[in-house]
Amino acid sequence: MTNGKKGTATWLLGFLTLLAVFNVFNAIIKLNGTDPIANFKILDITLGNLNAETYLWISIILTFMLLGATSFSIYRGLPTDPQVLQRIAKVEENLTLNANMLENTQIGFFKKFEENEKASNEIFHKVNLSFEDMRQETSVSLSKQREALENMEKESRKNAEAFEKQARELMDLKKKIAKIGGETLQKPKLTSQSQIERLRSLTPQLAAKFDDMKVTKIGELLAADSVSMAEKVSESPEKIAHMQAMAQLLMVPGIDEKHAELLVKVGITSRRELANQDPIQLYRGIVRIAKTFVEQGKMPARKTPTIEDVSSWTKQARL
């Protein structure tokens, strides 16, 4: 399926999911109302009268089915990292080698067992030997067999442990692939072709001045000199530089306006600076600023970024 067809199918499934959610709310309202009978509708088409409770369950089931189909359409066919695929291939090769080794060990075990059994039979058939000599020889042979079996059991246990370890590594790699796929879905808030009005800190008056200067896109704003631009629009160079910093940070996937403002507060004013940061140290500085923002009512507590968010920003800034 081409990207265009896949996108159309995804939007259609999303729209149908939204309609199903609306029907769930409608069913809840009907269930709490005085009228126990509800009209089951899709768009403007009435499919019949249903009991409100039945209507609710049908709507919930349709919602989950459509939500699953939408999620499958979105996540299907995500690109994977070639290095991760190489690591998977290496792990699978090691698993194959270990499986072959385990199989060869088992073949050797049975072969050795058959040889020992044959040797034991030959010992018992030596009629010219005395009972004591036979007993001693048999005891020595059995001791050797027991020792060989114990060694083979230890080797088999080691191979089994190695096999389990390789399997766990493969599962970890698959989880990392899923995580990488989730990160690839993130899109930046701004691109170089975005209209300059997308910046929330831009006032209509300043936007009009930029328009007179033929600065209408984010890329044109970043290419301009902040000092000369500030003189032309009668603003401070610091304000223009702040707008340019916010625009650069908003071009990193996963960063929104509040996050960009936090980064600027801790001294990160460009994508390059963000890419060179240690995620742990940067996270500590951001948390301190975020706590102040929350106390001042500038930001809800739920918007405070996590260490995983900060680590993802630094990775995305390097791309």
Which residue is associated with the tokens 């399997």? 167
Residue scoring higher pLDDT (98 or 44): 98
What is the rounded CA–CA span in Å between residue 135 and residue 138? Answer: 5
Q: At what angle do helices 226-233 and 237-250 cross, to 10 degrees?
A: 120
Q: What is the pLDDT of residue 160?
A: 77
- Residue that wins the pLDDT comparison between 86 and 47: 86
Report how far residue 94's alpha carbon sits from residue 169's, in angstroms, rounded to the nearest whole number: 11
CB 304 within 8 A of CB 289: no
* pLDDT tens-place string over residues 238-258: 999 999 999 999 999 999 999
Domain ranges (residues) in the chain: 3-75, 82-184, 196-318
List, in order, residues 6 or more apart from 116 with CB less than 8 Å away.
141, 144, 145, 148
Tokens 């405070």 found at: 304
Q: What is the DSSP string of the chain?
A: --HHHHHHHHHHHHHHHHHHHHHHHHHHHHHHSS--EEEEEETTEEEEEEEHHHHHHHHHHHHHHHHHHHHHHHHTT----HHHHHHHHHHHHHHHHHHHHHHHHHHHHHHHHHHHHHHHHHHHT-TTS-HHHHHHHHHHHHHHHHHHHHHHHHHHHHHHHHHHHHHHHHHHHHHHHHHHHHHHT---S--TTSBGGG-TT--HHHHHHHHHTT--BHHHHHHS-HHHHHHHHT--HHHHHHHHHHHHHHTSTT--HHHHHHHHHTT--SHHHHHTS-HHHHHHHHHHHHHHHHHTTSS-GGGSPPHHHHHHHHHHHH-
The pLDDT of residue 289 is: 93
DSSP states of 160-182 as a string?
Answer: HHHHHHHHHHHHHHHHHHHHHHH
Note the pLDDT tens digit of each residue in 152-185.
888 878 887 877 887 787 677 666 645 544 444 5
pLDDT, tens digit, 9 for 90 and up, residues 260-291 = 999 999 999 999 999 999 999 999 999 999 99
Does the pLDDT value for residue 2 go beyond 60?
no
**Average pLDDT value for residue range 122-147:** 74
Whether the full predicted model's pTM is greater than 0.85, yes or no, is no
Q: Is 76 exposed, middle or buried (0-12, 13-18, 19+ CB in 10 A)?
A: exposed
